[in-house]
Structure 1
Amino acid sequence: MFSQGRIIMNMQNYSDNITKAAKLIKEADYILVGAGAGLSAAGGLNYGDSELFIEWFPKLSELGIETIGEAISFYWNADDSNRRSFWAYWANHINKIRYEAPALKPYLDLYEILKDKNHFIITTNVDEQFVKAGFDKEKIFAPQGNYGLFQCDKPCSNDLYDNKTFIDKMIANMDKDKFEIREEDIPRCPKCGSYMSKNLRVDDTFVEAPHMEKQKDYMDYVNNSMDGKLVLIELGVGFNTPGIIRWPFEKITMKHLNAVLIRMNMQYPDIPEKLLSKSLTFNEDIQMVLTEINAARFKK
């Protein structure tokens, strides 16, 4: 699971690290943010939280499903035998996370920290929390998709469709006892009539082109940062897709003459030995760390 050399952890004093992180951010010319699921989990959208699942999906908890993560696995694929219950789950899942959830405190604190700084964001999260918190969507590269969009499941085109109307209709008409939507409410592609699917990177049918338009902006930002002080802030990024943020952030830090990596991760805070002199690590709660860095900005 761990790449070579990830056995030494930075054990510097937590309070000192808060002060150092605030100073590094204040003095940075460029700030590159990389965010994974751990950032949203720190704000309460935790896919492993059994209490949250019971609150949101009491009917499914009676079936022995205990967490959102388990429900996602249970309803991962749709076919003719389960399509109505599949969409009953996903309509409610998307509604809770994409539409009902407010901007979470970790994102709001991060916005306060970065709003006046030159920054860019890459995230594997698909919940639009960055936009809800006030970040400019033009400065966000989100290559894994978006809970607010549907696509054709074939796909017949690279078109993406806002799904709020579809979601509202499925939920309004669903049979709550059977946990099924109506056959006529199953979303279909307006171009070819095939079924719609979630716009998430799950297989080779994923419509990625609209999201990848921001890849050049991301690469340009990294290249432009080479002439200044760069701080990379990595938040809750584990090993589900380390090739998108975690490993590239380490490579950028190594190659950049004036870069520091700030890694926040309760489960995987480890840093390669060769990067110890260019890094700060936090294995404490991300929400707490961001709140304290935000407060530390105003201390002399």
Structure 2
Amino acid sequence: MFTRLYLKNLKKVKEIIDEADYVLIGAGSGLSAAGGLDYSNKDVFKENYSPFIKKGYKTIWDGLVDNWTVTQENKKSYWAYWANHINNIYYKANYTKPYEDLYELIKDKNYFIVTTNCDGQFYKGNFDEKKIFAPQGSYGYFQCEKPCSEDVYNNEAMIDKMLSSFDEDKLIIGEEDVPICPRCGRLLRPNLRVDDTFVDKPHLANIDDYYEFVESAKNHKIVLLELGVGFNTPGIIRFPFEKMTKYLNETTLVRFNTTEHGVRKGIEDKTILIDHDIKESLEALVKI
């Protein structure tokens, strides 16, 4: 049930967006979770990862933690989980409603997006790819485990190949389908920022445009829409957004977060907290 304060805040947010000269979107895992790509949801796991229940996993996170690093010893079981995970989250997943509504909300504004999400949702809809900075990597690419180059490799065919040999009883893939670096012969791994071997060059293409957007916005009305951002990597979105809110005069931070919605001291009067379900909040904003 919507409270009077919640509805009042939503109307204020819509007014601020309508009046803004610039809209900077910061999207974390909570935005994707709101659309059903929820790594902590047991029902999501049961529906899409049922073969792995026998290993004692109850959520997507359980499987990721248990298969964090690929080695020669675990490569067949590692890729059994990761091939299914990437297929579920990146290839099979539809464009979800929260992203669709977010686009409808800001499509006519001068916007830019910075996101820590690697699931490709922003690229499945109508967002301008030139206005997206996604520095954490992509589920759509593999890289060498110990980078022999800055190359990354589209993995769709490799994922299909691994899934074709996936043994649901043994929870392994075929030895011959383990992805190998074409340059040096080492194992490949997902192109994600998990340690200092991450190949980030392909994901830095729009970083200068991001900085230029913020620089251009300094003396204008800017709204920062922070959606589902926690403390996993706060230095990418959460802390910079709070800093911008503090030091840029005509700036409003709108923080959509149902759990980690605290605010840095000194910016309370420039922040609107929406601690309600992100999916429902975006749906409501589009209708206002």
**TM range, smaller chain:** over 0.9
In 2, distance between residues paired with 1:255 and 1:164? 44
Q: What residue in structure 2 maps to residue 18 of structure 1?
A: 10
CA deviations 1:231-287 (Å, max 9, x no partner) are 000000011111110010000111111110000000011222411211111110000
C-alpha deviation, 1:86, in angstroms: 0.4
C-alpha deviation, 1:25, in angstroms: 0.6
Kept in 2: contact 1:104–1:133 (CA 8 A):
no
- Whether 1:179 and 2:171 are equivalent positions in the alignment is yes
CA deviations 1:32-68 (Å, max 9, x no partner) are 0001111101111110111111111222112211100
Q: What residue in structure 2 maps to residue 193 of structure 1?
A: 185
In 2, distance between residues paired with 1:77 and 1:280? 39
Q: What residue in structure 2 maps to residue 69 of structure 1?
A: 61
The structure whose RCO (Cα within 8 Å, separation 6+) is larger is 1
- Whether 1:245 and 2:237 are equivalent positions in the alignment is yes
Specify every segment of 5 or more residues in structure 1 that has no aligned partner in the other structure, as ranges.
1-10
SS at match of 1:237: coil
Q: What residue in structure 2 maps to residue 283 of structure 1?
A: 275
In 2, distance between residues paired with 1:176 and 1:295? 45
Q: What residue in structure 1 maps to residue 156 of structure 2?
A: 164
- Determine which of 77, 83, 102 is the counterpart of 1:91: 83
C-alpha deviation, 1:226, in angstroms: 1.1
In 2, distance between residues paired with 1:173 and 1:59? 14
In 1, distance between residues paired with 2:6 and 2:265? 19
With normalisation by structure 1, the TM-score equals 0.93
In 2, distance between residues paired with 1:155 and 1:115? 38
**Range 227-236 or range 267-276, more displaced:** 267-276
In 2, distance between residues paired with 1:30 and 1:58? 44
CA deviations 1:104-137 (Å, max 9, x no partner) are 1100000111111110000000001111122111
Q: What residue in structure 2 maps to residue 235 of structure 1?
A: 227
CA deviations 1:162-210 (Å, max 9, x no partner) are 1000001100122221111111111111222221110000111100112
Specify every segment of 5 or more residues in structure 2 that has no aligned partner in the other structure, as ranges.
none
Kept in 2: contact 1:189–1:195 (CA 8 A):
yes
Kept in 2: contact 1:253–1:260 (CA 8 A):
yes
In 2, distance between residues paired with 1:213 and 1:177? 42
SS at match of 1:33: strand
Kept in 1: contact 2:70–2:189 (CA 8 A):
no
The letter for the 1-side match of 2:182 is: P
C-alpha deviation, 1:82, in angstroms: 1.2
In 1, distance between residues paired with 2:218 and 2:228? 25
SS at match of 2:254: strand
Task: Report the number of matched residues.
Answer: 286
In 1, distance between residues paired with 2:140 and 2:231? 25
Q: What residue in structure 2 maps to residue 220 of structure 1?
A: 212
In 1, distance between residues paired with 2:80 and 2:152? 21
Kept in 2: contact 1:109–1:291 (CA 8 A):
yes
The letter for the 2-side match of 1:128 is: G
The letter for the 2-side match of 1:59 is: P
In 2, distance between residues paired with 1:180 and 1:62? 13
% identical aligned pairs? 49
The letter for the 2-side match of 1:245 is: I
In 1, distance between residues paired with 2:107 and 2:154? 28
In 1, distance between residues paired with 2:128 and 2:90? 17
